[in-house]
């Protein structure tokens, strides 16, 4: 069993050969059962984990156009933010700034 540290996520198991894939079940942390005889070695039971990245924050009405979030300039809600893959330009995520704080956040 693999215990994923706080702040990390598990990768998808069994995506390639056993020598290079993750074997931990993301729901339980358990690997497949393996039976070894004395002296035998199995170096294929692995666990892939990663720390998610986030991008985001604030969309505001830059009334003086200086590129600075001045105290008198308010946020804008309802702005669509699209995250694309830099190489393929494929859309990865879409979100809209909220009424509450005019912010967005995407977890990668």
Give whichever of 15 and 94 is closer to Ca ion, judged by the CB atom. 15
- Dihedral (CA of 13, 17, 20, 23) sign: positive
Give whichever of 21 and 25 is closer to Ca ion, judged by the CB atom. 21
| C-beta separation of 11 from 49 below 8 A | yes
> For residues 24 and 13, what is the distance between their CA atoms, to the nearest angstrom?
6
**Near Ca ion in 47-106, by CB under 5 A:** 62, 64, 66, 68, 70
**Near Ca ion in 20-49, by CB under 5 A:** 21, 23, 44, 46
Which range touches Ca ion (CB under 5 A), out of 9-17, 48-56, 80-88, 95-103?
9-17
Number of residues that bind Ca ion (CB under 5 A): 11
How distant is the alpha carbon of residue 79 from its chain centre?
22
> For residues 51 and 57, what is the distance between their CA atoms, to the nearest angstrom?
19
Give whichever of 95 and 103 is closer to Ca ion, judged by the CB atom. 103
| C-beta separation of 23 from 13 below 8 A | yes
Residues that bind Ca ion (CB under 5 A): 14, 18, 21, 23, 44, 46, 62, 64, 66, 68, 70
């Amino acid at each position: 069993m693999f215990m994923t540290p706080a702040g990390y996520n598990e990768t998808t198991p069994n995506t390639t050969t056993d020598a290079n894939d993750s074997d931990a079940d993301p729901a339980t942390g358990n690997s497949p059962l393996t039976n070894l005889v004395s002296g035998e070695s199995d170096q294929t039971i692995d666990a892939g984990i990663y720390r998610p990245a986030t991008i985001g924050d604030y969309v505001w009405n830059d009334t003086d156009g200086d590129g600075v979030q001045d105290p008198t300039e308010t946020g804008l809600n309802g702005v669509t933010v699209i995250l694309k893959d830099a190489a393929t330009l494929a859309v990865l995520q879409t979100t809209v700034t909220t009424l509450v704080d005019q912010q967005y956040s995407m977890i990668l």
